[in-house]
Amino acid sequence: MRTLVNRLTLATAVAASLAAIAPAAADNVEIRLATLAPDGSSWMKILGKGAAEIDKKTEGRVKVKYYAGGVQGDERDVVRKINLGQLDGAAVTSVGLSMVEESIRVLELPRMFASVEELDYVADKMWPYFVKKFEAKGYKLGDRGDVGWIYLLSKSEIKNVGSLKSSKVWMWGDDAIVRAMYKRLGISGVPLGVPEVEPNLTTGRIDACYGSPLAAVALQWNTKVKYMTSLPMSYGIAATVIKLDAYKKVSAEDQALVLKISKGMQKTLRKQIRKDNESAKKQMERKGVKISETTPELLADFDKAAKDVWADLTGKIYTKDELAMVLKHRDEYRAKHPAP
């Protein structure tokens, strides 16, 4: 009898210890997320609808609160605040994602993809791999979002690398890929955070930048430039990340609801953002921004620099195997869908 009592006492103690270690699911959880996406933008409209649906479907047990428009700072500031517990997560570009797990940038290498279909094929194949890598860093990686094709925007027309070198070109200080690309092209970038771009275009500290058409319109960069290259440098992706300890406060039942809603939301977002990028490009042209045709010289210079960057960053940002995975899946797609 005494042995049985001792075993029950020990089992109770072990259970209590495990309960103390594991975060308990709470009845009412607020998930605080920051983003650079401005209020009223396509991103925030869709993210806002997703938050409202989560609130409704969980009967108020889970609420998602967004701090939009960069009010919590640039993405480096946001990730730091997440790690300090001041935020629970963020909807960020791949630059923000790289501050958790840098290797995800292998999906955003310059001149890697010829179409969104190629990107989708490769990213879908590799996303579960990155979900596991983020979990190992203590983060829940949500489904892939979208930024769009990234173009150069400038006050003076960029016809070749020489005209780019003579420009004062913005460089996101935390963007290792753009920094490597600039180095290969011989460009001295002006390092600034995203919220600093518009005022510095106004003052003339910079006279060129880069981004998707929709981002340029949403952030009002389009009102400060006269030209946009027809050549896309890369394709920008995004995603929501949440600290695992915050995510685990949500019950398993509600996690399933949140996951289902989030998957649908990101699918809608990708479709809408792609449509809105085309509309934004037309809007920019109507407002006087000229699409500058890419010369064969500029295309050749960019393609050579891009492939050099792929090699330069191997072993620094991503592994040789990870780059091989991207190329393998991209080539699989091209074999199934040969160019006309």
CB-based contacts of 167, cutoff 8 Å, min separation 6 = 154, 156, 158, 207, 208
CA-based nearest residue to 206, from 239, 164, 234 = 164
Name the residue type at position 204. Answer: G
Q: What is the rounded distance in angstroms from the CA atom of residue 182 to the CA atom of residue 164?
A: 10
- Tell me the pLDDT band of 149, cut-offs 50, 70 and 90: very high
Structure tokens at 331: 């080539």
**pLDDT at 99 (0 to 100):** 96
pLDDT (tens digit per residue) in 271-325: 999 999 999 999 999 999 999 999 999 999 999 999 999 999 999 999 999 999 9
Of 23 and 66, the one with more pLDDT: 66
Q: Which residue blocks in 101-251 are alpha helix, DSSP H? A: 116-136, 161-165, 176-185, 197-203, 213-218, 244-247
Residues facing residue 171 across a β-bridge: 191
Query: Which pTM value belongs to this model?
Result: 0.87
Please report the domains of the chain, with CATH numbers, ordered by start residue: 27-334 (3.40.190.170)
pLDDT at 143 over 70: yes
Let me know: does 241 contact 142? Beta carbons within 8 Å: yes
- Which range among 1-10, 144-153, 212-221 shows the weakest confidence by mean pLDDT? 1-10
pLDDT, position 339: 80
- Examine the pLDDT at 258 and tell me if it is beyond 60: yes
Average pLDDT of 17-46? 76
Average pLDDT, the chain: 91
User: What's the rounded Cα separation, in Å, for the pair 266 and 37?
Assistant: 15
CA 97 to CA 144: how far, in whole Å?
11
Other Cβ atoms within 10 Å of 240 Cβ, number: 24
Residues 171-215: tens digit of each pLDDT: 998 899 999 999 999 999 999 999 999 999 999 999 999 999 999
- Residue 230 DSSP symbol: S
For residue 32, CA distances in Å to 68, 146, 181 come to 11, 21, 34
- Asked if 157 and 292 touch (Cβ cutoff 8 Å), the reply is yes
pLDDT band at 26 (very low <50, low <70, confident <90, very high): low
pLDDT per residue as tens digits for the range 241-254: 999 999 999 999 99
- Tens of pLDDT, residues 78-97: 999 999 999 999 999 999 99
Is the pLDDT assigned to residue 23 strictly greater than 50?
Answer: no
